[in-house]
Structure 1
Amino acid sequence: MKIEHVAIWVKDIDKICEFYRKYFGGVVHPIYHNPAKQFTSRFITFDDGARLEIMHKPEMFHVEQSEHLGYAHLSFSVGSKEEVDRLTQKMSEDGIQVVGQPRTTGDGYYESVVLDPEGNRVEITV
């Protein structure tokens, strides 16, 4: 068994898709729009077959929320400590907010934590 995909609600599909394409090599697929439901989404596929669905529905954003139940973070394995360090530094230079510098966590992960353009937490790990 495998997880088929993970989905996140966003305000700006294009901005979020570009983030995951640029920094994690995702392939962004064509947009899907259902006018009857005012629903729009795009899938992003990664080298190992993992998929992320980026979804938007205008009614989801009438009230600003900083915390919510459900999705906590995504984690991307980049293969080495050196790549964690390099990618974190590159993102920082590009103005991406780094909220956790590279470190070894208590449970043994070497990781950093950044925020995507809409504040979703993304772990970068070995």
Structure 2
Amino acid sequence: MKIEHIAIWTLHLEEMKAFYEKYFSAKAGKQYHNSAKQFTSYFLSYDEGPRMELMYRPGMSQSSGSTDLTGITHLAFSVGNRATVDQLTERLRRDGYVIAGEPRVTGDGYYESVILDPDGNHIEITE
């Protein structure tokens, strides 16, 4: 058994797609649109692991972005080593993204930073 994909509702479909393509090497499939349901989505694939589905429908409201709620709280991307964690974190900082947690070794032994994607979702960048 494996996780096939994880889905994220977004108010900024094209911006989110471009973000994950640019910084996390996602490969977007063809846009899917269901006009009857006013639903649009992209599946993003990575070299390994599950796909991500970005979904949009008019009339949605923005999530609070709080990590104190039940449900999925973050996504983690492994980039291979500490130097790449540092480099990608700095690249995102220069490009104006929020760094929610500076690179560090966590209590459970991960070397990681935490950034916010365009919708404010917490993304861990791990070695």
TM-score by length of 2: 0.92
Deviation per CA, 1:29-70, whole angstroms, max 9, x where unpaired? 111111111111100000115310000112322xx4414542
- Map 1:115-126; keep pairs closer than 5 Å: 115-126=116-127
Q: Distance in 1 between matches of 2:80 and 2:96?
A: 23
1:3 and 2:3 matched: yes
1:1-126 alignment runs, 5 A limit: 1-61=1-61, 64-66=62-64, 67=66, 69-126=70-127
Identity percentage of aligned residues: 52
Query: Deviation string for 1:77-125 (max 9, x for gaps)?
Result: 0000010001001110111110100000011110000000110110000
Q: CA RMSD in A?
A: 1.2
Structure 1's consecutive aligned runs of 4 or more residues displaced over 3 angstroms after TM superposition are none
2:63, 2:116 → 1: CA distance?
A: 16
> How many residues get paired?
124
In 2, Cα distance between the equivalents of 1:46 and 1:65? 25
Aligned in 2, Cα 1:27/1:65: closer, same or farther, shift over 3 Å? Answer: closer
3-state SS in 2 of match to 1:20 = helix
The normalised TM-score by structure 1 is 0.93
Alpha-carbon distance between aligned partners in 1 of 2:96 and 2:59, rounded to the nearest angstrom? 29
Instruction: Supply the distance in 1 between the matched residues of 2:50 and 2:25 (Cα, whole angstroms).
Output: 12
How far apart, in 2, do the equivalents of 1:55 and 1:4 lie? 16
Stretches of structure 1 that go unaligned for 5 or more consecutive residues are none
